Structure 1
Amino acid sequence: MSSSQRKPARRSTGARRSAEAEEAILQAAGEILQEAGYAGFSIEAVARRAKAGKPTIYRWWRGKADLLLDAYHRQKPEIPVPDTGNLEEDLTVFVGTLLEHWRTTPSGNIFRSVLAEAQNDEAAAEAVRDYALDRRDHIAGIVKRARDRGEVASDTDPHAVAELVISFAWTQLITHRWPGEAELRAILRLIARGAKAERA
């Protein structure tokens, strides 16, 4: 995993006991989510399947959302950051790859469950906010690169552009709406053009 694709550091409440125990817990979390869905997912169920104590899980994860986010990262491979020399193309390739991954693998349901948990639990909301900031920085890097080569206006805020991209992508995930290539490109073209440098 590259530094630009790293997951946010979790504020653990205790030292790790062993890599094997962590692996067993994450494996159990992923299996339960796939088998029983979000409604059937609980720390108690994970502890039973992983043969781990609940206190151990709560020492290592702040709560259900933290564990779900780690299970999500465990299943989500690194999504390459394209460098085509064109902002619209970079955003289209990146977001298209992300949406296809969410649509075709269990990680989409896992992350959707994290977002659902955040609606009713402040600890979960905090975990999602931390993750959103990390993703914003990640996508802003694509925009900064375009700004450096003069494609994007010098006064464009890369993080503001990244917010638009994240909002679009997460909305598709939440609503199970997967745009075709033409629609995806048209939407990201609007975002990219809004950041473009004026040409004489």
Structure 2
Amino acid sequence: MGELAAPGRKSIGAKRNPESADAIIEAAEAVLAEAGYSGFSIEAVARRARAGKPTIYRWWPSKAALLIEVYQRQKRVEVPDTGRIEEDLAGFLINLFAHWRDTSSGNVFRSLVAEAQSDEAAALALADYAKGRRAHTGAMIERAKERGEVAADVDAGIVADLIASYAWRHLLTNRLDEDETAIRTAVRYVVHGIAPA
């Protein structure tokens, strides 16, 4: 039988060095900004960060994992809590579209979606990220249920999917300049339905 490792011992070099990790993420951001998704690779990031590929792969097991960390680091989207679900959802979408449009974050997320089409690890990473976002948006619906704005039997996850689908479609078709009136109309359709009164 092999020798047991000492209790609590971790593999050498497994813990991230925050300065090195920041340098790698900054390099990844720079490569994406300069070369786009087609020019983005772990090799290019390693060259830019003056880091070894094994170090990058130790901390980010795939290109997708690195893209998600770059995206999450850049994402700063205010989620309103006005006490009215229609206002909250519209405000969230308006803020999200502006963030995607006005920062490189939209390009990063588009790159991640593109990577997920041909790479199983990326697809799993994207699905995991989307699951977290679904829960986050679903919490807005649950708050509205508690206020009596949304019927108790409504599945908050499905509503979150409808909102995400609207947002992702605009991102992937590069229609982030949608005006506020159109966004509010879409939200009104989700909140109030499309059947005649």
TM-score, normalised to structure 2, is 0.89
Distance in 1, Cα, partners of 2:90 & 2:52: 44
Distance apart, 1:103 and its partner CA: 0.8
Secondary structure (helix, strand or coil) at the match of 1:81 reads coil
State how 1:100-111 maps to structure 2 within 5 Å. 100-111=98-109
1:118-168 residue CA offsets vs partner (Å, 9 max, x unmatched):
000000000000000000000001000000011100100111100100111
Q: Which of 139, 142, 145 is matched with 1:144 structurally?
A: 142
TM-score, normalised to structure 1, is 0.87
State how 1:1-200 maps to structure 2 within 5 Å. 15-77=14-76, 79-178=77-176, 179-194=178-193
Code of the residue aligned with 1:146 in structure 2: it is A
Code of the residue aligned with 2:53 in structure 1: it is K
1:94-132 residue CA offsets vs partner (Å, 9 max, x unmatched):
011001110111111011100000000000000000000
Distance in 2, Cα, partners of 1:87 & 1:76: 22
Code of the residue aligned with 1:20 in structure 2: it is E
1:163-186 residue CA offsets vs partner (Å, 9 max, x unmatched):
100111011000001311111100
Distance in 1, Cα, partners of 2:58 & 2:89: 38
Moved over 4 A (4+): none
Secondary structure (helix, strand or coil) at the match of 1:102 reads helix
Equivalent pair of 2:16/2:59 in contact (CA under 8 Å):
no
* Structure 1 gap ranges (5+): 1-13, 195-200
1:57-96 residue CA offsets vs partner (Å, 9 max, x unmatched):
111112111101111122222x222111211110000011
Code of the residue aligned with 2:30 in structure 1: it is E
Specify the structure having the higher radius of gyration (Cα).
2
* Structure 2 gap ranges (5+): 1-12
Distance in 1, Cα, partners of 2:94 & 2:14: 38
Secondary structure (helix, strand or coil) at the match of 1:153 reads coil
Secondary structure (helix, strand or coil) at the match of 2:152 reads coil
Distance apart, 1:192 and its partner CA: 1.2
Distance apart, 1:16 and its partner CA: 2.6
- Over the aligned positions, Cα root-mean-square deviation in angstroms equals 1.1
Higher relative contact order (CA 8 A, sep 6+): 1
Code of the residue aligned with 1:120 in structure 2: it is S
Match of 2:10 in 1: none
Equivalent pairs counted in the alignment come to: 180
